[in-house]
Amino acid sequence: MKTRILLVDDDPNIRQLVDLYLEKEGFEVSMADRGDTALKQFQSSTPDLMLLDVMLPGMDGWQVLREARKTSNAPIIMLTAKDETFDKVLGLELGADDYIAKPFDMKELVARIKAVLRRFQPQESAENKALEFPGLTVNISQYTVTYMGRELEMPPKELELLHFLASHPNQVFTREQLLEQVWGYDYFGDSRTVDVHVKRLREKLTEGEKLGWQIKTVWGVGYKFEVK
């Protein structure tokens, strides 16, 4: 079965170019040119990945991303003409899995799509067993996090980062190591991506330190999942 991609962009030339290239790479592509119709397609057709432009009529990409993340953890890559740090951070904080600025190289776009899809598919191994700590269970096989008795909504990259750190309690990792292990060696981002995701995890796991564990900053080095 082909991987299904929803391409959302209001520029017909970009839609045509990306569609042709992705179809050639073996993907099945559906398209939308408005944010509101894109959200309906995303919710009804449940694609494997969405390429989402920021500047859209009807509903902008940020709004689509917010609404999509209420019901789905499917990977979403933001497409935009802007390449400012604020926009990157906003996209990551809202739950985007990657971010690529226009104009982009088609080979790079395909590489990012494949990298995100690889990261999203859990690998069958002993590491897939649920990790359990007081008040916290991280199940990478089912992509679920249970905290204080309730299941948290958590984008894939946040969950994978938490799982990786919790799999190596009390071991310190640099931001570069975390980028390589969680995002993959072919990720095109920078170390601020890690900081954004750690910040989001801490906001969701506020009582961890009281329970005997926490994601701790090791100044000048990186982060660790500290277990007392």
In the block, which residue shows the tokens 């906003």?
90
Peptide bond into 75 cis (omega under 30): no
Angle at which helix 61-69 crosses helix 35-45, to 10 degrees, equals 20
Spell out the domain ranges in the chain. 4-120, 126-227
Mean local confidence (pLDDT), 55-66: 92
CB of 216 closer than 8 Å to CB of 171: no
Q: Is the pTM of this model over 0.75?
A: no
Q: What pLDDT shows up at residue 143?
A: 87
Q: What is the DSSP string of 109-122?
A: HHHHHHHHHHHHS-
Burial class (CB in 10 A: 0-12, 13-18, 19+), 118: exposed
pLDDT tens figures, 136-188: 999 988 889 999 999 998 888 899 999 999 999 999 999 888 888 887 755 55
Second CATH level (architecture) for the domain 126-227: Orthogonal Bundle (1.10)
Antiparallel, parallel or unpaired: β 49-53 and 76-80: parallel
Burial class (CB in 10 A: 0-12, 13-18, 19+), 175: middle
Position 128 pLDDT exceeds 70: no
Q: What pLDDT shows up at residue 80?
A: 80
Q: Name 45's Cβ contacts closer than 8 Å, sequence gap at least 6.
A: 4, 6, 30
In the block, which residue shows the tokens 């920078």?
190
Position 96 pLDDT exceeds 90: no
Query: Would you tell me which CATH number, out of the four given (3.90.79.10, 3.10.290.10, 3.30.930.10, 3.40.50.2300), belongs to the domain 4-120?
Result: 3.40.50.2300
Alpha carbon separation from 71 to 44, 74, 169 (Å, rounded) = 11, 9, 31
The chain-wide mean pLDDT, for the chain, equals 87
User: H-helix or E-strand containing 69?
Assistant: helix 61-69
